[in-house]
Amino acid sequence: MGVDFGVPHFDGELEELGLLAQTAGYIVADRVSCKRRAPDPALFVGSGKADEIKLLAQSTGASEVLFDQALSPAQQRNLERHLGLPVNDRTLLILEIFAQRARSHEGKLQVELARLQYLSTRLVRRWSHLERQSGGIGMRGGPGEKQIELDRRLISDAIKRTKERLGKVKKQRATQRRQRERRDAFNISLVGYTNAGKSSLFNGLVKARSYAADQLFATLDTTTRQLYLGEAGRSVSLSDTVGFIRDLPHGLVDAFAATLQEAVDADLLLHVVDASNPAHPEQIASVTGVLKDIGADQIPQILVFNKLDAMDPATVPALLVDLMELDGQSVPRIYVSARSGQGFPELRGMLAERVMSQVGEAGDMGPYDQGSFEGIENT
C-alpha cells in the first residue's frame, strides 16, 4: 500500500516495496495506492480507503498488509483493528531484511539495536494483552499498567547493553583504522543505492568472493580487501559497504554508524549507480542525503555508472568517461559493466591517478579534481 502525498519520488507502481517484500520472504498478493494531501491521524489512509483495502485483502487471501511509508504506533494499531489483519510498514520490512542478512557479530548487534529502538515505540501494539483494565475503588488503571512499565524497562536495559557491546566493536574497528593509517594506507569505499551492483564491482576489482545477487540488500557487512594498482605501484584498501535506500530509517543510520564509518574515513568514494534504472537520479539524491547525514559528503567522489550492459542501446553515451554535475560541483563519471568487465581498465587508471595525485600533494587537491581522469580514452 502506497500513499502519494505529492512527493517527487513516489513509486506509483510500488516496485521497490514489492522487491523489499520479496527479499523479506513475502509473496505479493496485490498492490494499491492512493493520493492524499496529508495522512489521516487515525488510519493514515482514511476510513473509505481502509474499507477498500479490507475487501481487497479478503478477495486475494492476503494475510498481512504492508505500507510503503512509516506508520505511527497508533495508526498501526488502529489499522490492524479495522482490517482484522497484521499491518506493518516500510521501516519494519527493512529491519526484517537486515535481521535475515546480517552475518558478522557487529552487523547482528546493529540490527538488534535498531529493532529494539523500533519496538520500544510500539509496546501498545506488541503487548496488547497488557492494556489497562478498568480499576476498582482506589485503583488507577489496573495491574496491566505496571506490566507495561516493566516491559519498557526491560527493553530500555536491552538497548543500553546492546549499545555498550556495539561501542566495544567500534573501538576495535577504530584500532584497525589507526593501524591502516600508520601503514599510510589509501582507503576507498564503495557506496551507492542498494542493488546498484557494488558487491559485483568489488568482486571484479579485487577478485573476491563476496556474496552478490540481483536483490535488495544482498550484503550488509562491510568487507575490506587490498586492491593493487599497477599504474600507481602500490595497493589501496577497498571497502564494500551496506547499500542505501530511499527513506532509510534514521534508527538504522544511527545503528549502522560503525559500518558506515568506513565511508566517513575514506580518502575516496566510488559512488556506484545503476545506470539501467530510470529512477537513478532519485537514487543518487538518496545516497547523497545519507552521506550528508553521516558527515561523508565532503569526501572526493567518482561516480561509477554500473550495468552498462543492461542499458537501452539508445541511451548508451558516446563517451564513457566524462563529468557530471552533483550538488553544484563537477564530479568525474565513468560507465562500466561489473558483469563483463567493460570499463575496468579505465576505472583502475582513474583510481591510480587519483591515488598518486592525492598522496603526492598531501591533501592539497580539491574534492573533484578533473585531472584525476584526464588522459583516459574510451575503448
What pLDDT is stored for residue 335 in this prediction? Answer: 97
- Are the C-beta atoms of 78 and 43 separated by less than 8 Å? yes
Range 289-294 average pLDDT:
85
pLDDT band at 320 (very low <50, low <70, confident <90, very high): very high
Give the chain as a 3 state SS string.
CEEECCCCCCCCCCHHHHHHHHHCCCCCCCCCEEECCCCECCCECCHHHHHHHHHHHHHHCCCCEEECCCCCHHHHHHHHHHHCCCEEEHHHHHHHHHHHHCCCHHHHHHHHHHHHHHHCCCHHHHCHHHCCCCCCCCCCCCCHHHHHHHHHHHHHHHHHHHHHHHHHHHHHHHHHHHHHHHCCCCEEEEEEECCCCHHHHHHHHHCCCCCCCCCCCCCCCCEEEEEEECCCCEEEEEEECCCECCCCCHHHHHHCHHHHHHHHCCCEEEEEEECCCCCHHHHHHHHHHHHHHCCCCCCCEEEEEECHHHCCHHHCCCCCEEEEEECCEEEEEEECCCCCCCCHHHHHHHHHHHHHHHHHCCCCCCCCCHHHCCCCCCC
pLDDT digits (tens, 9 = 90+) for 122-179: 764 444 444 444 444 444 444 555 666 777 788 888 889 988 888 888 788 777 766 6
What pLDDT is stored for residue 342 in this prediction? Answer: 94
- C-alpha grid cell for residue 305? 555508472
- Please report the sign of the dihedral spanned by the C-alpha atoms of residue 308, residue 312, residue 318, residue 322: negative
Question: Please, what are the domains in the chain?
Answer: 2-95 (3.40.50.11060), 102-162 (no CATH), 184-372 (3.40.50.300)
Is the whole-model pTM more than 0.85? no
pLDDT digits (tens, 9 = 90+) for 39-84: 999 999 999 999 999 999 999 999 999 999 889 989 999 999 999 9
- Are the C-beta atoms of 135 and 141 separated by less than 8 Å? yes
- Are the C-beta atoms of 249 and 286 separated by less than 8 Å? no
The proportion of the chain whose per-residue pLDDT surpasses 90, expressed as a percent, equals 37
